[in-house]
Amino acid sequence: MPSAVKLRFIAALLLCTAARGADLPADAGRPAALSIAAAANFTPVLAELDRAFSRTEPGVAVTTATGASGSLFAQIRNGAPFDVFLSADLDFPRRLAQAGDADGASITRFATGRLVLWTTRPGLALDSIAGAVQDPRVRKLAIANPLTAPYGRAARQALDRLGLAAAAAPKLVTGENISQTAAFVSTGNADAGFVALSLVLAPKLKDRGHWIEVPAALYDPLDHAAVITNHGAANPEARRYLAFLLTPAARVILQRYGYGLP
């Protein structure tokens, strides 16, 4: 029957086409892609880092998501498809590797963060950390969640080491991450707050209010580290990005936002 012969011919043609397609690489013609999960303190610097990386790796589509390091750690542990994790400490990348969700050999320390106390309130003096925390005009003091945000943990350590934990407790308002904590201060929902130096040096905030640096001796070092996740293990761009973070181009950008270098 002619119609049956025609149908068999079309089916055979489709099978041949599918077979030829199977011989092609699965991602042939697709642009290279890289997915990065980054601690919220990197929010203002990521765009500059990604542009610099794109100059060395043109054609790579870089996507980023930000949040508290601990929250991103939990997402990756639950299968979130990130290739590279940029944490605000060494602990979360190490724990990720110990859990079998990242390559421990790839852990790369690339920057050191700095903690500041910041206010946008006119006339509020920041002559010292202790004086500001105990100032009666500071009724709300912002801090990132110490359980998930390394900068929040550092702020808690500073208050403990100054013997101010009890005095500060009634004033504390807690942000989910360090970006939300900075937003509390910038919007006036907190009178002052402990935030990352990188955020107050960002173009949008650098002319807002004033800040004082928290002495480094008051908190454990904020050693920022990158690690390649299991999802990114087969992505060559993941290793190239980690190598890029140690290049002079990346280091200049990081220093401009107040980061120390290892």
129 and 188 co-located in one domain: yes
201 and 230 co-located in one domain: no
Residue 18 reports pLDDT greater than 70: no
Residue 11 lies in a domain: no
Q: Which amino acid is at 136?
A: P
108 and 118 co-located in one domain: no
Name the band, by pLDDT with cuts 50, 70 and 90, for residue 27. Answer: very low
64 and 118 co-located in one domain: no
The CA distance from 146 to 154, in Å, is 8
pLDDT at residue number 8: 43
Q: Give per-residue pLDDT as tens, 147-162.
A: 999 999 999 999 999 9
pLDDT at residue number 207: 87
Residue 20 reports pLDDT greater than 90: no
pLDDT at residue number 262: 86
Residue 79 lies in a domain: yes
Average pLDDT over residues 124-130: 93
Residue 98 lies in a domain: yes
108 and 119 co-located in one domain: no
Q: Give per-residue pLDDT as tens, 41-50.
A: 999 999 999 9
211 and 126 co-located in one domain: yes
187 and 244 co-located in one domain: no
CATH of residue 58: 3.40.190.10
Q: Give per-residue pLDDT as tens, 199-209.
A: 999 999 988 99
148 and 94 co-located in one domain: no
132 and 214 co-located in one domain: yes
Residue 12 lies in a domain: no
Residue 16 lies in a domain: no
Q: Identify the domain containing residue 129 by its residue range.
A: 114-218
pTM: 0.86
Name the band, by pLDDT with cuts 50, 70 and 90, for residue 26. Answer: very low
User: Taking every pair of C-alpha atoms in the chain, what is the biggest distance, in angstroms?
Assistant: 95
CA distances from 216 to 92, 198, 219, 220 (A): 21, 15, 6, 8
Residue 3 lies in a domain: no
123 and 207 co-located in one domain: yes
For the chain, how many structural domains are there in total? 2
pLDDT at residue number 31: 58
**Cβ atoms of residues 121 and 198 within 8 Å:** no
213 and 120 co-located in one domain: yes
Q: Which amino acid is at 64?
A: T
58 and 78 co-located in one domain: yes
